[in-house]
A and B are shown apart, each in its own frame.
Chain A
Amino acid sequence: MVDLVESVDSDLVSPESNPTCPFPDEVLEPVLSLINSHKDRSSVSLVCKDWYNAERWSRRHVFIGNCYSVSPEIVVGRFPKIKSVTLKGKPRFSDFNLVPEDWGADVYPWLSVLAKAYPFLEELRLKRMAVSDESLEFLAMNFPEFRALSLLSCDGFSTNGLKAIATHCRNLTELDIQENGIDDLGGDWLSCFPESLTSLQVLNFASLNSEVNFNDLEKLVTRCKSLRVLKVNRNINLDQLQKLLLRAPQLTELGTGTFTQDLVTRPVADLEASFGNCKNLLTLSGLWDTNSLYLPVIYPACASITFLNLSCAALRSFELAMLLMHCKSLRRLWVLDTVGDMGLEAVGSWCPLLEELRVFPADPFEQEEVAGVTESGFVAVSRGCPKLHYVLYFCHQMTNAAVATVVQNCPDFTHFRLCIMNLGQPDYLTNEPMDEAFGAVVRTCPKLQRLAVSGLLTDLTFEYIGKYAKNLEILSVAFAGSSDLGLKYVLGGCPRLRKLEIRDCPFGNAALLSGLTKYESMRSLWMSACNLTLNGCRVLAKEMPRLNVEVMKDEDSEDSQAHKVYIYRTVAGPRRDAPPFVLTL
């Protein structure tokens, strides 16, 4: 820094320094390098040309929220020194099978460009991209400094691709494979890690089905002393887990395998001791098949846990209650609705620091009605957890009054995602639509960034949203609304809206076109099974050349109907890899 100070002094006098921008690059770049948020960096780059340049040279991580909004060539042209790339591809509704296969978002074209521009790339994080084994092999072979790979909701690859990564990435620190549509051909990929690999810090293969070789896993865990995140799959049994914990007591995040034993080979006390040994555990997940006998084994480790992911463990209410008594530091909790309202009351009682709650349905597609959780559990949590700001709640019934109470108790909501699973379900007590519930949410929670609505909703809900949700960035709507007005309200309000995803709503062309000027300030708009026609979309495409208006043709729908529409802003023009069923207007 001493050198820099001297150079600053001399530069102030020298003719090279720009009178309108007193900071020379040598100062600006190190300062800007401390800025990590890509939103801040965007702002920085808009200040002036010098700042734009300084920012682009100092950026090490680039985040691309929609892989089609920009081309790889433009990215590498602007940012010469990138070490880490995050890419997101398909629209979110592809998670629920609404996007046909082969839609796109192939990572390979990106990789071939990145290999030339960033040969020393270290990290790649992909979400909802199509990733083939060839891509993974290419990645493994062309980036000698590659360290961290994270694949979330991607598809198209098999465990053979993982073999390539394990074999060739000598400096691998992170391998995080989550919830992907992967072709699981066996667990031998894990045995491909060479003996010389000791750098692993993060290993997550919880969502893979095949059994890995436990000896190889144990050896890997033993020699990777910096391992802090280990999430194994269900095939790892308690015995094996115990051994792993012995090797890696330093773990901060643990995902267990199956958490029960058919044959008791090891006394419960031993397991408890192993958990007691893990003093640094912040996150715990897995716990498949656990029950009252084995769950208490984790109690000794619970005091430090801030994130407990029980969404794979069908716990009952009293099991959850007894567990939570030991979790004094809990901030994030994911559970299945098997815990029932009673379990949620326990949450309210024992987790005053709770900030995030997600309640998933255990049997979402069950034909018969199962109990799950109701509005009373929701209210109970809100009463006991005033710091709650993120909720994802699947239930079969809800009332306006309950939601109003919840947001009264917790006005700091930033993410409010309520899924009443029965379609078009009104307030089951008053039989009114659920408009007032979401009205209460947007009125009471000024910080709301993300909202998912459900239940029987009229245009009134959207009037409320448009009027009050000033900070709303992401809105998900399904089977709601009465007319074009609904969408018009939203597009006319919500100044910060970035992502809007709509399915099965009675919104037509007029509504679509009312948002003409708004779409360029948004990342994307998805509308499926609404009342849009090809002509309406064509008008939009014509008026707004910097948007890609893509219509997915469906065999069942008529020719004039636009069954699935995906609209996004882009500087890359229409995409060249669109499959035949995607029409870019």
Chain B
Amino acid sequence: MTPPLLDGEGGGTGNASLMTSASTMESVFQQSPGLTERNYLGLSDCSSVDSSAVSGMSAVKRNNLNLKATELRLGLPGSQSPVRDSDVDLGNSACLDEKPLFPLVPSKDGICSGTQKIVGSGNKRGFSDTIGEGNWMFGSSGIDSDGSKSLVQGKFVSNASVSGKILPGTQPAMINDAASKVSPQEQTHVTYGASVNKASASNPPAAKAQVVGWPPVRSFRKNILATNAKNNDEVDGKPGPAALFVKVSMDGAPYLRKVDLRSYTAYQQLSSALEKMFSCFTIGQCGSQGASGRESLSESKLRDLLHGSEYVLTYEDKDGDWMLVGDVPWDMFIGSCKRLKIMKGSDAIGLAPRAMEKSKNRN
């Protein structure tokens, strides 16, 4: 069963989607014919791990009903969305006893059967922030099950060969931030083959002090990802306007791209650039040879994508509203665009009127 793609901002689907996802979750584990388990920790009984882990997951899920509604799930058909555990303690107590399966070896026949991979990632806090906390273990009991969420981050690998880890993990550093951290509107950001659920931190980034010289990466490596080689800040020795990078996500794509809005001067340019960037999801993949790394698309999905007009380009503006791209003058758009999203046409219904209204209000 294909899990529905939920829109994080909509939030209206609530329990129904939860149930769907929960049952899908279990069905995925049962219907993973191509997955071979590798047991790195030398644990004997792999098959029992599946079911026990699944039941552990379900138990966790049941305690976090209200959170599922706000989750954004992305994934190709047949793949599983990430499961987020907001209750760290529960997650751990339920699953720590379960023997963790070290990554499941991907099947080589390209079946896009996803399992979730949950990893915790630590904050980028400066060392001084962390050394004060002597307790590195899961001691924190201050996590409410009803509202506050920890920064457990789910990780989803949606490409054909998938490594999955049943056990949710978390970082102690994150537990300590649990109380303050999470807002209901969690967006899933996907980058480069895996998706990471990010909690919007109530601490501003400045609080996460960057340590000098850490990580030990040479400075020339910092600018590798700038999309335009000629788009240096200094043109002819004068500082020019800084590049304006925004993230671009696409429904159905497992990772984001970034574009520099200042490298375009009109909507047409932006549109064709995005088309090129994301066209790889359609034609490129169909043409790919070889077993590993291939993302297979179901027929219907492919038809959708090939028809092009199914997709619309939307953006989130400074007020946090999602608007259709193209309504306002380009300069105004650049000034207010925070991120871009390529949505299915059907999902974008209801956006257009708001866009018109807004620009009317501004004028």
What residues make up the interface of A, taking CB atoms closer than 8 Å to B?
93, 95-98, 153, 179, 207, 209, 234-235, 257-258, 288-289, 291-293, 311-312, 314, 316-318, 320-322, 325, 336-343, 345-346, 349-350, 360-365, 367-372, 374, 376, 379-380, 394, 396-397, 401-402, 405, 419, 421-426, 428-429, 431, 456, 476, 478-479, 503-504
* CA A503 to CA B288, docked complex, whole Å: 47
Residue of B nearest to A399 (CB): B102
Q: Is the Cβ of B130 less than 8 Å from the Cβ of A362?
A: no
Can you report 15 residue pairs joining A to B where beta carbons are below 8 Å apart?
A: A97-B213, A98-B213, A289-B229, A291-B277, A317-B293, A322-B289, A338-B192, A339-B192, A342-B163, A342-B194, A342-B293, A345-B161, A425-B122, A429-B169, A504-B127
Residues of B within 8 A of A425 (CB): 122, 171, 173
Residues of A within 8 A of B205 (CB): 367
Q: Is the Cβ of A369 less than 8 Å from the Cβ of B121?
A: yes
Q: Is the Cβ of A342 less than 8 Å from the Cβ of B225?
A: no
A264: min CB distance to chain B, Å? 10
B129: min CB distance to chain A, Å? 9
Q: Is the Cβ of A370 less than 8 Å from the Cβ of B193?
A: no
* CA A425 to CA B138, docked complex, whole Å: 14
* CA A316 to CA B160, docked complex, whole Å: 13
Q: Is the Cβ of A376 less than 8 Å from the Cβ of B136?
A: no
A-contact bits for B100-132, CB 8 A (1 contact / 0 none) = 101100100000000001011111111100110
Q: Is the Cβ of B288 less than 8 Å from the Cβ of A322?
A: yes
Q: Is the Cβ of B289 less than 8 Å from the Cβ of A316?
A: no
A258, A293, A317, A405: most-surrounded residue (chain B CB, <10 A): A317
Q: Is the Cβ of A379 less than 8 Å from the Cβ of B215?
A: no
Known contacts being A289-B229, A341-B163, A425-B122, is A370 close to B290, with CB within 8 Å? no
Q: Is the Cβ of B121 less than 8 Å from the Cβ of A397?
A: yes
* CA A578 to CA B159, docked complex, whole Å: 56
Q: Is the Cβ of B119 less than 8 Å from the Cβ of A292?
A: no
Q: Is the Cβ of A98 less than 8 Å from the Cβ of B212?
A: yes
* CA A314 to CA B227, docked complex, whole Å: 10
Residue of A nearest to B151 (CB): A369
Q: Is the Cβ of B192 less than 8 Å from the Cβ of A346?
A: no
* CA A141 to CA B160, docked complex, whole Å: 60
Q: Is the Cβ of A367 less than 8 Å from the Cβ of B208?
A: yes
* CA A292 to CA B165, docked complex, whole Å: 29
Query: In this assembly, does B172 line the interface, its C-beta being within 8 Å of a C-beta of chain A?
Result: yes
Q: Is the Cβ of B218 less than 8 Å from the Cβ of A422?
A: no
Q: Is the Cβ of A341 less than 8 Å from the Cβ of B229?
A: no
B109: min CB distance to chain A, Å? 13
Q: Is the Cβ of B212 less than 8 Å from the Cβ of A369?
A: no
B102: min CB distance to chain A, Å? 7
Q: Given contacts A288-B229, A321-B290, A341-B194, could you give 18 more A-B pairs where the C-beta distance is less than 8 Å?
A: A96-B212, A288-B224, A289-B229, A338-B192, A345-B163, A369-B196, A370-B191, A374-B155, A379-B102, A394-B217, A419-B216, A423-B130, A425-B171, A428-B169, A431-B137, A456-B136, A478-B214, A479-B127
Q: Is the Cβ of B218 less than 8 Å from the Cβ of A95?
A: yes
A130: min CB distance to chain B, Å? 17
- List the 7 closest A-B pairs by CB distance, nearest first: A321-B293, A96-B213, A340-B193, A422-B122, A318-B293, A376-B103, A371-B194
Query: In this assembly, does B219 line the interface, its C-beta being within 8 Å of a C-beta of chain A?
Result: yes
* CA A425 to CA B131, docked complex, whole Å: 11
* CA A424 to CA B172, docked complex, whole Å: 11
Q: Is the Cβ of A422 less than 8 Å from the Cβ of B123?
A: yes
Q: Is the Cβ of B127 less than 8 Å from the Cβ of A209?
A: no
Q: Is the Cβ of A317 less than 8 Å from the Cβ of B159?
A: yes
Residues of B within 8 A of A339 (CB): 192-193
Q: Is the Cβ of A349 less than 8 Å from the Cβ of B292?
A: yes
* CA A367 to CA B232, docked complex, whole Å: 22
Q: Which of B157, B229, B290 contacts A325 (CB 8 A)?
A: B290
Residues of B within 8 A of A371 (CB): 155, 190-196, 255
Q: Is the Cβ of A431 less than 8 Å from the Cβ of B136?
A: yes
* CA A343 to CA B106, docked complex, whole Å: 12
* CA A369 to CA B205, docked complex, whole Å: 11
Query: In this assembly, does B19 line the interface, its C-beta being within 8 Å of a C-beta of chain A?
Result: no
Residue of A nearest to B129 (CB): A423
Query: In this assembly, does B230 line the interface, its C-beta being within 8 Å of a C-beta of chain A?
Result: yes
Q: Is the Cβ of A401 less than 8 Å from the Cβ of B102?
A: yes
* CA A209 to CA B301, docked complex, whole Å: 43
Q: Which of A320, A396, A402, A478 contacts B122 (CB 8 A)?
A: A396
Residues of A within 8 A of B193 (CB): 316-317, 338-343, 371
